[in-house]
A and B are shown apart, each in its own frame.
Chain A
Amino acid sequence: MTPRPTALIAEDEPLLAAALQSELAQVWPELVVLPIAGDGLSAVSQALQSQPDVLFFDIRMPGLSGLEAAAELADAWPAPGPGHKAFPALVFVTAYEQYAVQAFEAQAMDYLLKPVQTARLEKTVSKLKLSLTQRAWPAIHFEDTLSQLRNLLAATPKLLPASEWLKTINVSVGQHTRLLAVADIAYFEATDKYVRVLSGPHDYLIRTPLKDLLPQLDPQIFWQIHRGTVVNTTFIDHASHDDQGKLHLSLRGRPERLAVSRLYAHRFKAM
């Protein structure tokens, strides 16, 4: 007997989470729905712990958005092997088609519009059942998921024209404002409330969020390599894998090594 499929719902609005759960009980009685995650971060940790077969992620959630949570999860998901399941099938739930989600309907992931209609949910469920039985090539499925997540995440910020890219980053040092040349900045790193700017031997804090900064930087030079890290490629010395297969960057003139998310690892494959 095969074990019953499991699902994790991540949704910050309690009534909607309960409604989805009860509708799923109607159209897919065998499915076991795990306790509901109310925000992006707990969705990631719960999914890592319970390794469900299906994820229903609301896109707009406090903390991490559904897309960011899925990316985080893809990064932390253990390599398939004994005792580890393949990466779950993803279904995004959203109230409004902010992303061109329709493009992904036929792909490795699905989407549902709120209010979720029963007929549409049935269609999603039959697709999910099919994909669970066809998990013969989990590696291919995972690569598909990664590239689609990458596209969805990249679709959000709009890159500004080259004339509006930043030449300097203004940081305040005590009573002064210092203008750092963008070319001298090794990388940006998001912390809880600020963004760290690493330039030369120094370390500054700015308040502009990374997602607002990114569209103002030259995309040929500044690459996002993680949710919270944007690196200046001219500072990269080499990329290497550690024992767990995770990719890290070593920088010229800096001792620390930067972790590369699986989502962005494709940029460092040899040509």
Chain B
Amino acid sequence: MSLPSSFSLGLVAPLIPATERRALATRLLVVWALAFVIGLINWTYRLSMNESAKLVVALVYSYAISTSIWLFTDVARFAFRRLLHTSAPSYWPPAGRAVLMLFVGIPLGYALGTLLGDAYSGHSTWALIDTDYKQFAGLLLSALVISLAFVAYFYQRGHAEELKRQVSQSQLMLLQSQLEPHMLFNTLANLRALITTDPKRAQAMLDHLVAYLRATLGASRQTQHALQNEFDRVRDYLEIMSVRMGPRLRYSLDLPEALATVQVPTLLLQPLVENALLHGLEPKVEGGHISVSARLLNQQLMLQVQDTGCGLAEDNAPRSGFGLAQVRERLATHYGAGAQFKLANTPPMGTSALITIFLNPTPPP
């Protein structure tokens, strides 16, 4: 183990989270590229004003100031995580503290950068406060404006990336909850058994599995489909499960023809049916019955999944966190206040999950 490298790592490692180091370095490169342009502009401006100016000096100022402002803002928000209340995943402080960070960090960075530039060029920018107050203020203001523009740009970009990450995360979780390994491998084991004993049934089961997988893997591409499609997917799943569970699972589907073409979010009922099976019937030795139904009542579409399983600990209790949260979230994004979700025990046994969607755009009073 080489001491110097471990020493330098020891200094940097706890400061910047591993996942953020690359993005931080990229931002420094962007800052440096623009520092070159700013230095160049500064230099040509000086020349046009008939001042004696050296390109190297202009660049040293530009690089020194931009790098120190970057240090005092971008690096500081990681270094002073506690003070600024920044935390994963965005590491962006809350509004009040962000303003504090910028109005302390940018002038500090400007001051340090200017001092470095002065040390190189050998003349004092601070003397300008007395000799040419306007020029000094102009320099400070331009530094402030440029820095704020940078911060705004990086903030926007970070925010967009964060959003993208959240969306793909929830899609991944949806996929994982549907392609649960237990379900998949048990189904494959049943198929393996059927291939030798009952090839016809094996074929039918495989067809249902293919339809189920196709719907699950494609669910992220399509946001809505007809209720008939939704019921077909539920049937695929229940058919697979009834091969597996044998007489322990009985089910019924009831979709009136008039409702077959009503559009609903894709795989909206799927998590409810899975929950009814997983938490309602599977733990129960004698199994039970699941009924899935759709009906129209006073312009309200009622979608219900009922089971005769072992019931909930409490009404609306979070059963399998993600499935139900996902149903609620999708109803909210599709219908806003125009949809409701209720989960309740149905005495003497079992549970009922009920989705109510107001087909009228405005909910009745």
Contacts and interface: CB of A to CB of B under 8 A. Distances in A.
Interface of A: 12-16, 18-19, 38-39, 41, 60, 62-63, 95-96, 113-116, 207-209
15 contacts: A13-B190, A13-B245, A14-B246, A15-B193, A15-B243, A19-B193, A62-B282, A62-B287, A96-B182, A96-B185, A114-B189, A115-B188, A115-B189, A116-B189, A207-B314
A60 B313 contact: no
A124 to B, nearest CB: 16
Given A12-B248, A13-B244, A62-B283, A19 B192 contact: yes
Contacts of B197: 15, 18-19
Contacts of A113: 185
B122 interface: no
B157 interface: no
A195 to B, nearest CB: 11
Given A15-B243, A62-B287, A207-B313, 19 more contacts: A12-B248, A13-B245, A13-B246, A15-B194, A15-B244, A19-B193, A19-B197, A38-B285, A39-B285, A60-B282, A62-B284, A62-B285, A63-B283, A95-B185, A95-B189, A114-B188, A115-B192, A207-B314, A209-B313
B285 A15 contact: no
Contacts of B193: 15-16, 18-19, 115
B181 A95 contact: yes
Given A15-B194, A96-B181, A208 B313 contact: yes
Contacts of B285: 38-39, 41, 62-63
A24 to B, nearest CB: 13
B87 interface: no
B188 to A, nearest CB: 5
Which of A18, A19, A113, A116 has the most B CB atoms < 10 Å from its CB?
A19
Q: Is the interface of B mostly helix, strand, loop or mixed?
A: helix
Nearest to B190: A15
Given A95-B185, A207-B314, A16 B284 contact: no
B337 to A, nearest CB: 31
A228 to B, nearest CB: 16
Contacts of A41: 285
Q: Is the interface of A mostly helix, strand, loop or mixed?
A: loop
A223 B336 CA distance: 48
B186 A13 contact: yes
Which of B193, B246, B284 has the most A CB atoms < 10 Å from its CB?
B193
Nearest to B188: A115
Contacts of A60: 182, 282
B310 to A, nearest CB: 8
Contacts of B282: 60, 62
A162 to B, nearest CB: 23
Contacts of A12: 245, 248
Nearest to A14: B246
Contacts of A15: 190, 193-194, 197, 243-244, 246
Contacts of A63: 283, 285
Contacts of A19: 189, 192-193, 197
A111 B188 CA distance: 18
Interface string B213-257: 000000000000000000000000000000111101000000000
A116 B246 CA distance: 20
A198 to B, nearest CB: 20
Which of A60, A95, A116 has the most B CB atoms < 10 Å from its CB?
A95
Nearest to B184: A95
**Top 3 closest pairs, chain A to chain B, by CB:** A19-B193, A115-B189, A95-B185
B184 to A, nearest CB: 8
A103 B285 CA distance: 30
Contacts of B243: 15
Interface in B43-64: none
A13 B189 CA distance: 10
Which of A41, A114, A208 has the most B CB atoms < 10 Å from its CB?
A114
Contacts of A114: 185-186, 188-189
A43 B254 CA distance: 37
B195 to A, nearest CB: 10
Contacts of B188: 114-115
A19 B244 CA distance: 12
B276 to A, nearest CB: 14
A95 B313 contact: no
B289 to A, nearest CB: 15
